[in-house]
Structure 1
Amino acid sequence: MIVVAALLGQIYAPLEPSLDRSKPESVVIRLGRPALLRGVSHGECKEHLEITPAESLYLGYPHGPKTAEFVPQGATRRTFNVDLTGPLDALITASADSFLCNDRSDAPLSVSFGSGGNRLDNGVYDRKGDWLLTAQGTGVTLTPEGTGRYRLRVGSGPVKLRLRPDYYRNHLGYFLWDNTQSLWKQPVAGWCSWMAHLQDVTAANVLDAARFFSKNLKGYGYSVIQIDDGYQRVRQFPQGNEKVKEPFAHYWTIPNEKFPNGLQPLAQEITRLGLTPGIWVGYYTPLGLKNRDGYVTDADGKPHKGPWVNYAMNPLIPAAREEAYTETVRELRAQGWRYFKIDTLRHVLYDNFRQVPGYWKSRRESMETAYRTLLAETKRAAGPGSYLLACWGTLPELAGIPDGARIGEDVGPDVDSMRRSAKYIAQFGYLNNVVWRNDPDYMCLRVPVPQAQSWATLTALAGGHVMVSDPIKEYDPARVDVLRRVGPPLIVKPASVVSHGPDPEFMTLNGAKGDERWLVAARFGWGDQPARRVDLATLGLDPSRRYLAFDFWKERFLGIVSGEAAYDPLENGGCQVISFRPLADHPQVLGTNRHIGQGAYELDRVHWDGQALSGRMRRGLGRVWSLYLYVPAGWRTALVDGAAASNPSPQVLKLTFPSGASTADWKVTFIK
Structure 2
Amino acid sequence: MNQIMKRQTASEPPITQAEHSWNEETNLLQYHYNGRAVITIPLPEGVKAYYRRVSDGNLLTSPFVQQLYLAFERPQLVRVTFELSGDAVNMRPRRAADGEAILGQVGRPAIYGANGLYDVLQDLLIDWHGADWRWACDRIGTNGNGNSVAEIDVEVGQTPWVINLRMQYYRKHLNFAYHKPWEWRPNLKAVSGWCSWEAYRRDIEQEDVLNAARFVSDHFKAYGLEYVQLDDGFQLPVVPPAADGIVADAWLNTNEHFPDGHEALTSGIKEQGLQPGIWTNAVVTNPDFAALSGTCLKDQEGHPIKGKWIGYVLDCTPETLARHVAPYYKGMNEQGYTYFKTDAIRHLIYDGLRLAVKEGLISNEEAEQKFRAFLECAKEQIGDAYLLSCWGVFGEVVGLADACRIATDSNPSWPAIRMQLVETARWFHTQRILFLNDPDHVCVRAPLEWAKSAISLVSLTGSLLMISDKPENYDDERIGMIRRNLPPLTTVTAETGPLDITYPAFAWTHVQGYAIDLDKADQPNAGTSNDPSGGQAGHPLTTLWAIHMQTETRTWCVAGRFATEPMQASVLKISQLGLDPAREYAVFDFWQQRYIGRFTEVIPCRRLEVGSCQIMAVCPVDDKPALLASSRHVSMDAVSILEEGWEDGVHTLKLAGIPGTSENYWLYVPAGYTVSGLSVDNGEGEWSAEGETVKLTIRFTGEESAARLSFEQA
Query: Could you state the TM-score of these two structures normalised by the residue count of structure 2?
Result: 0.84
| 1:205 shift after superposition | 1.6
Which of residues 191, 200, 203 in structure 1 aligns to 2:203? Answer: 200
| Change over 3 Å in CA distance of 1:589–1:205 after alignment to 2 | same
In structure 1, what is the Cα distance between the partners aligned to 2:702 and 2:288?
Answer: 53
1:231-257 per-position Cα deviation (integer Å, ceiling 9, x unaligned) = 211358x9xxx8546543221122222
Query: Gaps spanning 5+ residues in structure 1: where?
Result: 1-9, 53-75
In structure 2, what is the Cα distance between the partners aligned to 1:443 and 1:647?
Answer: 36
AA partner of residue 666 (structure 1): A
In structure 2, what is the Cα distance between the partners aligned to 1:488 and 1:213?
Answer: 13
| 1:340 shift after superposition | 0.7
In structure 2, what is the Cα distance between the partners aligned to 1:170 and 1:311?
Answer: 34
Report what 2:128 is aligned to: 135
1:385-417 per-position Cα deviation (integer Å, ceiling 9, x unaligned) = x11111112211111111111111111102221
Q: Aligned ranges for residues 554-565 of structure 1 at < 5 Å?
A: 554-565=592-603
| 1:352 shift after superposition | 1.8
Report what 1:496 is aligned to: 495
Report what 1:423 is aligned to: 422
Which of residues 83, 87, 100 in structure 1 aligns to 2:90? Answer: 100
In structure 2, what is the Cα distance between the partners aligned to 1:231 and 1:324?
Answer: 19
Q: Aligned ranges for residues 65-80 of structure 1 at < 5 Å?
A: 76-80=62-66
Q: Aligned ranges for residues 204-603 of structure 1 at < 5 Å?
A: 204-235=207-238, 243-244=242-243, 246-286=245-285, 287-289=287-289, 292-318=293-319, 320-357=320-357, 366-384=366-384, 386-498=385-497, 499=499, 504-603=542-641
| 1:468 shift after superposition | 0.9
Deviates more, 1:171-180 or 1:645-654: 645-654
| Change over 3 Å in CA distance of 1:473–1:301 after alignment to 2 | same
In structure 2, what is the Cα distance between the partners aligned to 1:225 and 1:340?
Answer: 11
In structure 1, what is the Cα distance between the partners aligned to 2:272 and 2:16?
Answer: 54
The answer to whether the 8 Å contact 1:466/1:489 transfers is: yes
| 1:515 shift after superposition | 2.5
In structure 2, what is the Cα distance between the partners aligned to 1:27 and 1:21?
Answer: 6
AA partner of residue 326 (structure 2): T
| Change over 3 Å in CA distance of 1:621–1:416 after alignment to 2 | farther
AA partner of residue 314 (structure 1): D
The answer to whether the 8 Å contact 2:102/2:425 transfers is: yes
In structure 2, what is the Cα distance between the partners aligned to 1:302 and 1:31?
Answer: 55
| 1:298 shift after superposition | 2.8
AA partner of residue 191 (structure 2): V
1:414-471 per-position Cα deviation (integer Å, ceiling 9, x unaligned) = 2221211122211111212111111111111112222222111111111121111112
In structure 2, what is the Cα distance between the partners aligned to 1:297 and 1:244?
Answer: 16
In structure 2, what is the Cα distance between the partners aligned to 1:466 and 1:544?
Answer: 36
In structure 2, what is the Cα distance between the partners aligned to 1:35 and 1:412?
Answer: 51
Report what 1:81 is aligned to: 67
How many equivalent pairs are there?
A: 634
Report what 2:523 is aligned to: none
| 1:554 shift after superposition | 1.4
AA partner of residue 572 (structure 1): V
In structure 2, what is the Cα distance between the partners aligned to 1:369 and 1:473?
Answer: 45
AA partner of residue 115 (structure 2): N
| Change over 3 Å in CA distance of 1:12–1:514 after alignment to 2 | closer
Which of residues 54, 58, 71 in structure 2 aligns to 1:49? Answer: 58
Deviates more, 1:21-30 or 1:370-379: 21-30
The answer to whether the 8 Å contact 2:689/2:695 transfers is: yes
The answer to whether the 8 Å contact 1:529/1:571 transfers is: yes
| Change over 3 Å in CA distance of 1:80–1:272 after alignment to 2 | same
In structure 2, what is the Cα distance between the partners aligned to 1:601 and 1:137?
Answer: 39
How many percent identity over aligned positions? 27
The answer to whether the 8 Å contact 2:299/2:361 transfers is: no
In structure 2, what is the Cα distance between the partners aligned to 1:590 and 1:308?
Answer: 50
| 1:346 shift after superposition | 1.5
Report what 1:56 is aligned to: none
| 1:221 shift after superposition | 1.1
| 1:197 shift after superposition | 1.2
What is the alpha-carbon root mean square deviation over aligned residues? 2.5
The answer to whether the 8 Å contact 1:145/1:151 transfers is: no
What's the secondary structure of 1:606's corresponding residue? strand
Deviates more, 1:226-235 or 1:586-595: 226-235
| Change over 3 Å in CA distance of 1:131–1:253 after alignment to 2 | same
In structure 2, what is the Cα distance between the partners aligned to 1:632 and 1:489?
Answer: 32
AA partner of residue 538 (structure 1): Q
Report what 2:688 is aligned to: 647
In structure 2, what is the Cα distance between the partners aligned to 1:597 and 1:648?
Answer: 23
The answer to whether the 8 Å contact 1:267/1:277 transfers is: yes
The answer to whether the 8 Å contact 2:587/2:597 transfers is: yes
The answer to whether the 8 Å contact 1:645/1:653 transfers is: no
| 1:148 shift after superposition | 0.7
AA partner of residue 64 (structure 2): R
In structure 1, what is the Cα distance between the partners aligned to 2:711 and 2:701?
Answer: 27
Which of residues 36, 39, 48 in structure 1 aligns to 2:38? Answer: 36
In structure 2, what is the Cα distance between the partners aligned to 1:362 and 1:340?
Answer: 29
Q: Aligned ranges for residues 176-191 of structure 1 at < 5 Å?
A: 176-179=178-181, 180-191=183-194
| 1:608 shift after superposition | 0.5
1:469-527 per-position Cα deviation (integer Å, ceiling 9, x unaligned) = 11211111111111111111111211112345655121111111113110110111122
| 1:358 shift after superposition | 8.4
AA partner of residue 588 (structure 2): F
Query: Could you state the TM-score of these two structures normalised by the residue count of structure 1?
Result: 0.89
In structure 1, what is the Cα distance between the partners aligned to 2:363 and 2:673?
Answer: 79
AA partner of residue 336 (structure 2): G
Deviates more, 1:493-502 or 1:471-480: 493-502
| 1:308 shift after superposition | 1.3
In structure 1, what is the Cα distance between the partners aligned to 2:154 and 2:659?
Answer: 49
AA partner of residue 67 (structure 2): N
The answer to whether the 8 Å contact 1:100/1:495 transfers is: yes
